[in-house]
């Protein structure tokens, strides 16, 4: 959406080439660019965890239990002598998998519901919106807890329900964008020459609501990671010994934190930095791509 269609009759020869998205990001939004860089760094850590982690995530070594940070163990070791840095890296891997797949699923669902509900309007919209209203009164975490209690803990359930839950809640944003696009001349033009609805939705509506959808996708990554950590913190997330950031902070480990405060710091810092980065990057994206949403949050 960086380049707008030239108005009819205008000479299609811009005096200055419009700057690309990344150069605008780095020049106009340094904080957002910082967020993007940090996110890329964590993505790389997650993807390469098997290669760069100095130890395995479950290498137990009773002699090295609760060692403070040192050259050998940068983030220290936990109560079983496992290397905290390695566990954080593998935790990044899990967070990347869950965050990305849940966010993609959520955005897909938001887009489908939002476009159908917003474009067709009328009775369908009314029905769908009442359902979304009712869904939104339930906190994400409570729904997750109930579903996990019913279906048992595990990654597919968590991704599925996070995708569904965040997807339904996010459909509001897509819907309102669709409603404003629906009234534009080009959509009326396509309707009047008898274009079929799926074609109008795909060729005319979807490309024009893409900016808020991209922003939604970015911010959802952070929300999904945070929700999963909360669930793991309560012991209902990805089952152990999988090293999620949430489970590393959990109650059973808390007793050891009094002897090794670094156990409480490392995973929490990772989480905070990632969530912070998605927030600032999402804000920058919103300002650059979708000026209408500026200032809202």
Which residues in this chain contact other proteins in the complex, by CB under 8 A? 130-131, 133-143, 145-152, 226, 229-230, 233-234, 236, 246, 249, 251, 254, 257-258, 261, 264, 267-268, 271-273, 275-276, 279-280, 295, 297
| Torsion sign, CA atoms 251, 233, 83, 242 | positive
Least distance to other proteins, CB of residue 95, Å: 12
Task: Output 48 or 146, the one with its CB closest to other proteins.
Answer: 146
Report d(CA 78, CA 81) in Å as an integer.
Answer: 5
Task: Output 116 or 231, the one with its CB closest to other proteins.
Answer: 231
End-to-end Cα spacing for the chain: 21
DSSP per residue, 125-138: HHHHHHHHHHHHTS
Least distance to other proteins, CB of residue 104, Å: 22
Task: Output 81 or 235, the one with its CB closest to other proteins.
Answer: 235
Using alpha carbons, select from 143, 140, 142, 113 the residue that is nearest to residue 129.
113
Q: Compute the 3-state secondary structure of the chain and give helix, strand, coil in percent, each to the nearest 5.
A: 70, 0, 30
Task: Output 21 or 138, the one with its CB closest to other proteins.
Answer: 138
Task: Output 149 or 197, the one with its CB closest to other proteins.
Answer: 149
What are the backbone dihedrals phi and psi of residue 32, each rounded to the nearest 5 degrees, phi first? -65, -40
Least distance to other proteins, CB of residue 289, Å: 19
Using alpha carbons, select from 106, 96, 84 the residue that is nearest to residue 265.
84
Least distance to other proteins, CB of residue 119, Å: 22
Task: Output 254 or 292, the one with its CB closest to other proteins.
Answer: 254
Least distance to other proteins, CB of residue 273, Å: 8
- Angstrom CA distances, 230 to 4, 191, 220, 275, stand at 42, 47, 15, 13
Structure letter (DSSP) for residue 77: B
Least distance to other proteins, CB of residue 294, Å: 10
């Amino acid at each position: 959406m960086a380049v707008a269609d030239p108005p009819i009759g205008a000479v299609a020869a811009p005096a200055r080439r419009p700057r690309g998205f990344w150069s605008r990001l780095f020049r106009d939004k340094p904080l957002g660019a910082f967020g993007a860089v940090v996110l890329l760094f964590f993505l790389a850590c997650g993807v390469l965890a098997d290669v760069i982690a100095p130890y395995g995530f479950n290498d137990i070594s009773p002699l090295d239990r609760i060692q403070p940070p040192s050259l050998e163990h940068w983030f220290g070791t936990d109560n079983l002598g496992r290397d905290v840095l390695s566990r954080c890296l593998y935790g990044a891997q899990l967070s990347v998998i869950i965050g990305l797949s849940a966010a993609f699923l959520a955005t897909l669902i938001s887009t489908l519901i939002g476009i159908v509900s917003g474009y067709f309007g009328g009775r369908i919209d009314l029905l769908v919106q009442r359902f979304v209203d009712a869904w939104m009164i339930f906190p994400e975490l409570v729904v997750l807890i109930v579903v996990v209690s019913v279906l048992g803990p595990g990654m597919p359930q968590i991704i599925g329900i996070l995708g569904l839950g965040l997807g339904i809640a996010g459909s509001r944003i897509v819907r309102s964008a669709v409603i404003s696009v629906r009234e534009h001349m080009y959509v009326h033009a396509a309707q009047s020459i008898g274009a079929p609805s799926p074609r109008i939705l795909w060729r005319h509506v979807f490309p024009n609501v893409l900016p808020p959808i991209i922003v939604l996708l970015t911010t959802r990554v952070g929300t999904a990671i945070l929700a999963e950590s909360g669930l793991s913190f309560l012991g209902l997330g990805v089952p152990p010994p999988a090293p999620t950031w949430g489970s590393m902070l959990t109650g059973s480990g808390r007793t050891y934190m009094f002897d090794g405060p670094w156990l409480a710091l490392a995973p929490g810092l990772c989480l905070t930095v990632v969530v912070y980065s998605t927030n600032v990057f999402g804000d920058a994206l919103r300002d650059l791509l979708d000026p209408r949403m500026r200032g809202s949050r």
